[in-house]
Amino acid sequence: MEAFIATVVYFFISIVILYIGLVIFEVITTKYKDYEELKNGNVAVALSIAGKVIGISIILAFSIYNSTHIYDSIIWGVVGIVLQMIAYYIMEILTRSFSVEDQLKNNNIAVGIFSMSVSIGLGFVIGASIT
C-alpha cells in the first residue's frame, strides 16, 4: 500500500511541476500565448510545447528514480525547469540569424522540430546527471 501511495503522490507532484514549468516558460520565454497558438493550429508551437513536456517529464522520471525522498524530486524538478529555460535562451543566442520565437509564431515547423529536439535531448542529459 505504501508503494501505491508514493506512486500517487509522485504522479500529482509531477503534474503540478510540469504545469508550473509550462506556465513559467510561457510567461518568460514567449511573445505570444502558447495555448492560443495551439487553438489556432500552429504546429510549430505544438511541437515546441511537446518538447518541453517530454523534456521536463524525462527529468522528473530520472529524479523519481534516483531520489530517496519526494522533496528530492521536487528540487530536481525545479532545477530541471531552470536548466531547460537556460538552454532555451542559449538556443536563442546560437540562432542569431533568426528569432526562434518569431519563427515558432510564424508556424515554421522546422524550427518547432529543432526546439522540440533540444528540449528532449537536454531532458535526457539533465536527467542522466541526477545521481
When pLDDT is averaged across residues 102-113 and rounded to a whole number, the result is: 95
Pair 116, 43: CB distance under 8 Å: no
| 24 and 77 Cβ atoms separated by less than 8 Å | no
pLDDT for 85-105, tens place per residue? 898 888 888 888 888 889 999
Minimal CA–CA distance to 17: which of 51, 45, 44, 52?
52
pLDDT, position 70: 87
- pTM above threshold 0.85: yes
Instruction: Give the pLDDT score at 51.
Output: 95
- Give the chain's end-to-end CA distance (angstroms, integer): 27
DSSP class of residue 40?
A: T
Residue 82's CB: how many other CB atoms inside 10 A? 13
CB atoms within 10 A of CB 61: 16
Count of CB atoms situated within 10 Å of the CB of 6: 12
What are the structural domain ranges in the chain?
2-128
The CA radius of gyration of the chain, in Å to the nearest whole number, is 15
Q: Give pLDDT, residue 31.
A: 76
Decide: helix, strand or coil at residue 67. Answer: coil
Decide if pLDDT at 110 tops 90.
Answer: yes
Q: What is the pLDDT of residues 23-61, one digit of tens each?
A: 988 888 777 888 888 899 999 999 999 999 999 999 999
- The overall longest dimension of the chain from CA atoms, in Å, is 55
Look at 131 and 44; give whichever has higher pLDDT.
44
